Amino acid sequence: QSTWGVVLEAHMAMEDGRATADFRANVATVQHQLKEIQKVLRTQVDKDAQVQIRRETDMTDDYSEENPYSRLMALQTVGVVSNYQAIRESSVAVVGCGGIGVLVSEMLTRNGIGLLSIYDRDQVTMSHMSNMFYCPEHVGWSKTQVARTFLSNINPDVRFRTFKFDIGTRFEDFLTSLKRGNIDESGPPDLLVCCVDNRPARLAVNEVCHELNIPWLCAYLDPTSMVGHILSITPGRTACAQCTGEATEKEGALHASLPSSHAVIAGFLGTACLQQLLEFGSASSVSIDMRNFQISQLPNQPNPGCSSELCRSRQQGIALISQ
């Protein structure tokens, strides 16, 4: 056998050895991943075996450690609301699962809302870890998928509908889905909550709420995450998102994200939802400056010269009814 033949055989044997080693390493990696998956599954099974969340057929004000609604029903007992049980026949659509939207969705779920529809176009990335609710293991999931999984475990009495798409580019799908957003899916939801961080999406919500005559709440933070705005909007009766001539945001501008700011705005927003649904108090449009804890009222009268034709039409219709 020639020298070159010996060298070639040795080289081939070496390549085979490397391939075998690589294959064994890959097998070991897969085996390790399987063990981790089995560990997670065992943990979940153990958790499910320990905690059995039962569905509640009725809301009662009987206090017991087993009654998840007793402290909520206390709002009725102390006279804040006249009929807290009405929450179970109520429906809300939340648009945007960012730092504010996820917290409001959780509040509504814990409050026992009847039907919750959630809209968001994005997937979870590591940049969302500054938001409460999301964890590193959620990276790659759609935000709506995380929300539905997490919230269903909190309260099995709540029905959920989730939609993963851009409400601006798929406006007709957005409109169609909202037409079946109430508790029996025969009409629009009782309330829409908009928590998106860009003006074009807010304008899409503004248009659909005018068209379907849906009262809505709009909440967002400025780029510093230090000043939050909450708008309480009733089509034709109050200023809409176009009445005020809100400044256009810079395209691609990076917004700061602060969990404490999300929680402050979400707290006000969650209470405003209950005010609308259970008819107590009066929600108004406000600006909240967290640098000095200052709350300012925002103009809430509709603008007769609003750039939205739908808004002007709603105003005219209400004026005719009032005559």
Per-residue pLDDT tens over the stretch 75-109: 998 999 999 999 999 999 999 999 999 999 999 99
Q: What's the confidence (pLDDT) of residue 48?
A: 47
Q: What percent of the chain has pLDDT over 90?
A: 62
pLDDT reading at 317 higher than 60: yes
pLDDT reading at 213 higher than 70: yes
DSSP 42-94: HHHHHHHHH---PPPSS------TT-TTHHHHHHHHTTS-S-GGGGGG-EEEE
User: SS3 for 194?
Assistant: strand
pLDDT of 117-163, one tens digit each?
999 999 999 888 888 788 888 899 899 999 999 999 999 999 999 99
Q: How far is CA 8 from the centre of its chain?
A: 63
> Is the Cβ–Cβ distance between 116 and 109 less than 8 Å?
yes
- Choose among 270, 304, 294, 296: nearest CA to 110: 270
pLDDT of 261-308, one tens digit each?
999 999 999 999 999 999 999 888 999 999 999 999 998 899 999 999
What band does 49 get if pLDDT is binned at 50, 70 and 90?
very low
Q: What percent of the chain has pLDDT over 70?
A: 78
pLDDT of 172-199, one tens digit each?
999 999 999 999 999 999 999 999 988 8
